[in-house]
């Protein structure tokens, strides 16, 4: 079976003049996607929240809403349902409640369908743009080579799949768009509640740290685990 190999320009042209979703993480690839589609595709951007309404996330979303002139939808992140159903960082009392009542699961396709239904968009004809690039790693390069940059079964497409880092940087400079504060404190966009993220959040955003504790009350155990891990590494080096 021959795979249709289209450039990023050809992909945007194919979806031009239509309305489609954009999974917007506030990351550089998602920003590049939006820039590339701007003025050609009617974009409906949405952000998947792992913890609802974190202040530093809202600051970034507000900036991009003003920059692009479009409201960004907030929807639950499917990983949130997984974490809660697995009682991640929950107290025994909360674990008992979760086990007794259960946590419903909603996947990425469920969220896409929910957005389409709420906006009265045709579910079968509305695709979702994703900012994955072939240059990210070998696996993704192989994926695009064998599957192409439009997946009709999952209704997804990749508008910047063949972009290089240099092109992305040039496009950002040309558009005068900024990266979110995430890159300064995490080195990437916020994506979970492991030590990489919660340690800087506790230092820089105490109110957001409290929101995390309200939802995952034992999240501070991640600091204990990190300290024990570092102590083990130091002992291993001495030996």
Domain 8-238 has CATH 3.30.70.260: no
pLDDT, greater one: 182 or 136: 182
Quick one: which H or E segment has residue 44?
strand 42-49
pLDDT value for 227? 86
User: Is the pLDDT at 1 greater than 60, yes or no?
Assistant: no
Helices and strands, counts by H and E, the chain: 12, 6
Residue 39, Ramachandran bin (φ over 0: left; ψ between -120 and 50: alpha; else beta) = left
d(CA 34, CA 17): 15
Determine the average pLDDT of the residues in 211-238.
84
Tell me, letter by letter, the H, E, C secondary structure of 166-214: HHHHHHHHHHCCCCCCHHHHCCCCCCCCCHHHHHHHHHHCHHHHHHHHH
Q: Angle 76-77-81 (CA atoms, 0-180°, nearest 5)?
A: 90
Determine the average pLDDT of the residues in 31-56.
97
Q: How confident is the model at residue 105 (pLDDT cuts 50, 70, 90)?
A: confident
Domain residue spans in the chain? 8-238
With contact defined as beta carbons under 8 Å apart, do 56 and 204 qualify?
yes
Q: Please state, as a whole number, how many other Cβ atoms lie within 10 Å of the Cβ of residue 128.
A: 21
Q: Is the pTM of this model over 0.85?
A: yes
d(CA 187, CA 38): 26
User: Is the pLDDT at 99 greater than 80, yes or no?
Assistant: yes
User: Residue 30 carries which DSSP code?
Assistant: H
């Amino acid at each position: 079976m021959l795979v249709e190999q289209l450039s990023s320009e050809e992909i945007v042209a194919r979806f031009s003049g239509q309305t489609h979703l954009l999974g917007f993480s506030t990351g550089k690839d998602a920003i590049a996607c939006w820039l590339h589609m701007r003025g050609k595709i009617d974009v409906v951007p949405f952000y998947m929240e792992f913890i609802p309404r974190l202040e530093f996330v809202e600051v970034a979303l507000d900036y991009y809403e003003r920059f692009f002139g479009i409201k960004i939808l907030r929807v639950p992140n499917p990983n949130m349902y997984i974490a809660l159903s697995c009682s991640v960082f929950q107290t025994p009392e909360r674990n008992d409640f979760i086990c007794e009542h259960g946590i419903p699961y909603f996947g990425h396709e469920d969220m896409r369908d929910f957005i389409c239904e709420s906006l009265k968009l045709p579910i079968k004809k509305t695709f979702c743009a994703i900012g994955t690039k072939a240059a990210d790693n070998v696996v993704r390069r192989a994926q695009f080579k064998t599957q192409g940059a439009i997946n009709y079964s999952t209704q997804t497409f990749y508008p910047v799949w063949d972009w290089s880092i240099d092109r992305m940087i040039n496009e950002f400079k040309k558009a005068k768009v900024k990266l979110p504060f995430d890159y300064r404190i995490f080195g990437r966009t916020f994506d979970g509640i492991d030590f990489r993220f919660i340690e800087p959040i506790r230092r820089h955003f105490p109110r957001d740290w409290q929101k995390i504790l309200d939802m995952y009350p034992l999240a501070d155990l991640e600091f204990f685990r990190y300290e024990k891990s570092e102590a083990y590494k130091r002992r291993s080096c001495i030996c």
